[in-house]
Amino acid sequence: MRLDPLSQAFAALADPTRRAILARLATGEATVNELAQPFDMTQPSISKHLKVLERAGLISRSRAAQTRPCRLSAAPLQQVAQWVGTYRQLWEDSFDQLDALLQSTTPPSIPTPARKGKSHVRKPKQD
């Protein structure tokens, strides 16, 4: 399923390395080398994080210079920061999904296999 921009930003922000990269970029643009230094990480793994941030629209990278410096993009971060906007998106998404679920399932007058009083336990698969 394609992620909406807000979910993409959330997913990108969930990782501490990526938050640290953003905090660094908040002080000004930087190259991959400069970003890799404080993290004790290889360039390819920093590049992977940068790709996630770029796809989420949180940073942009210059095509002009060979070092392709990264810079922060404010708009999606601002969207995440706006609590009311975030909450509206969450509930609009959820209600759309609820609507789809209600339309696709049988009405309660037709009995479905009962599963009462049991708390649902399922191990999440980590992606």
Partner 1 sequence: MSESPSKTEFLITRRFAQPLARVWEAWSEADQFQKWWGPKGCRIDVQRFEFRPGGFLHYAMNFPEGPAMWGRFAIRELVPRERLVWLNSFSNERCGIARAPFSERCPLEIQNSVAFAQEGGATVVTLRARPFGEMDDERAYFEELHPSLDEGYGGTFDALAAHLK
Question: Residues 6, 89: contact at Cβ < 8 Å?
Answer: yes
Q: How far is the CB of 42 from partner 1 (least distance, A)?
A: 19
Over the window 86 to 125, marking each residue x when it contacts partner 1 by CB under 8 A and - when it does not, the resulting string is: -xxxxxxxxxxxxxxxxx-x-xx------x---xxxxxxx
CA distances from 4 to 32, 53, 92 (A): 27, 14, 12
Please answer whether residues 43 and 32 qualify as being in contact, where contact means their C-beta atoms are separated by less than 8 angstroms: yes
> Which of 47, 67, 84, 111 lies at the binding interface for partner 1 (CB under 8 A)?
84
- Pick the piece of the chain touching partner 1 (CB under 8 A) from 10-18, 28-36, 37-45, 59-67: 10-18
Does position 127 interact with partner 1 (CB under 8 A)? The reply is: yes
DSSP letters for 35-65: HHGGGT--HHHHHHHHHHHHHTTSEEE-SSS
Q: Which amino acid type is present at position 64?
A: A
Q: 3-class DSSP state for residue 70? A: strand
Task: Give the shortest CB-3-to-partner 1 separation in angstroms.
Answer: 4
- Measured distance CA(30)–CA(36) in Å, rounded: 10
1 or 64: CB nearest partner 1 = 1
Residue 45 binds partner 1 (CB under 8 A): no
Q: Which residues bind partner 1 (CB under 8 A)?
A: 1-4, 6-8, 10-15, 18-20, 22-23, 26, 52, 55, 72, 74-75, 77-78, 80-85, 87-103, 105, 107-108, 115, 119-127
